[in-house]
Amino acid sequence: MVNRVKLRQAGGSISATLPKTMAQRFHLKAGDPVFAIETDEGILLTPYDPEFERAMKIYDRGARKYRHALHELAK
């Protein structure tokens, strides 16, 4: 779905207002953090932290490698 969003001056920054239907679909509320990521196509706004996904991949590797040790520690 494509929505046209108008940019507005907000103090020393520029803000964008999301349509209500889009905010509801992604369960976004005023004050929620979103991440602005520069891509080859432009700017991607997402509620998902790209660093969290990277951290989870690192965790998964460690959890597999030390599975038995973690199991023993959990006792």
| CATH code, domain with 35 | 2.10.260
Sign for the pseudo-dihedral over CA of 4, 8, 14, 18: negative
Alpha carbons 45 and 48: distance in angstroms, whole number: 9
* Other Cβ atoms within 10 Å of 64 Cβ, number: 9
Is residue 2 one of the residues assigned to a domain? no
Structural domain for 64, as ranges = 7-73
Alpha carbons 56 and 60: distance in angstroms, whole number: 6
Is residue 51 one of the residues assigned to a domain? yes
Is residue 16 one of the residues assigned to a domain? yes
pLDDT tens across the length of the chain (75 residues):
788 888 999 999 999 889 999 999 989 999 999 989 899 999 988 888 878 888 888 888 988 899 889 888 888
The pLDDT value recorded for residue 27 is 92
The pLDDT value recorded for residue 9 is 94
Is residue 30 one of the residues assigned to a domain? yes
The pLDDT value recorded for residue 3 is 84
Structurally, the chain folds into a number of domains equal to: 1
Is residue 53 one of the residues assigned to a domain? yes
Alpha carbons 65 and 1: distance in angstroms, whole number: 42
